[in-house]
Structure 1
Amino acid sequence: MSATAGPAADSAAGRLGVRAGQAVQELGYDDDVDHDLREAVEALTGGELLDEDDQEVVDVVLLWWREDDGDLVDALVDAQVSLADDGVVWLLTPKAGRPGHVPPSDVQEAAPTAGMHLTSTVSPSRDWVATRIVGGRTRR
């Protein structure tokens, strides 16, 4: 284990389980995202975040989502396109009381409809909550 594993585990990116060398794709980027969290993920992985145009298989998808962004089920299905079989989607939504807040019930309904399962929720930043979602499909 590296000497930086302790601080990394305490960082916002560490709370998301992001590790060095992982490929991370970011979807739903806009001006309101948490730039400190983005930078922490890049620092921990040692690489830049990939965007929706990148076609490589990724370990993690960061999906920024707001109430008025459209159909969450469609977004979760799209998030799985480049996701490795054992990859995770972190759905980042504004916290209650913040503009664009997404009710937890919407997330709880959308994930299984998209063939995915909710596993945990963390608070990686002041304005955003992150829900860990894993796929239920097998890629062949």
Structure 2
Amino acid sequence: MGSGDATDTNEYPCLIRVTDGKDLKLSTKVEPGDLEKFHATYGTLLKASMGSLRKRDKKREKQRQEDAARRKRRLAEQIAVEGPKRGNGRRKRQRLVKRAIRLEETRKRSQEREEAKGKTRAA
């Protein structure tokens, strides 16, 4: 058995092991004569289980990336609060002030999220 003869023509069964990634583990031996049948059946099983998978929607992914980039650019820009405090243009100035305050709050939340992501990656 350990001599390694070139005339050794024994065919050995194939051991197949399967797990669901948690606690279920299965194994089986497949004889060389049944290997093609096993592969065909296994392939059919895999195709049937992949029916629920969806093809990636690359257009939507690209749109989301562009939207995220646009939001980041808007966060980076400064809002110039100009105009009179009284008289004509007062409401416009008030809207700009409110927008600047909201933008600053959004920046703070974004910064906190980035820090939280950094902490989870480091851990």
Q: TM-score, normalised by structure 2?
A: 0.21
Q: Which has the higher contact order (CA 8 A, sep 6+)?
A: 1
Q: TM-score, normalised by structure 1?
A: 0.19
Between structures 1 and 2, the one with greater strand share: 1
Higher helix share: 2
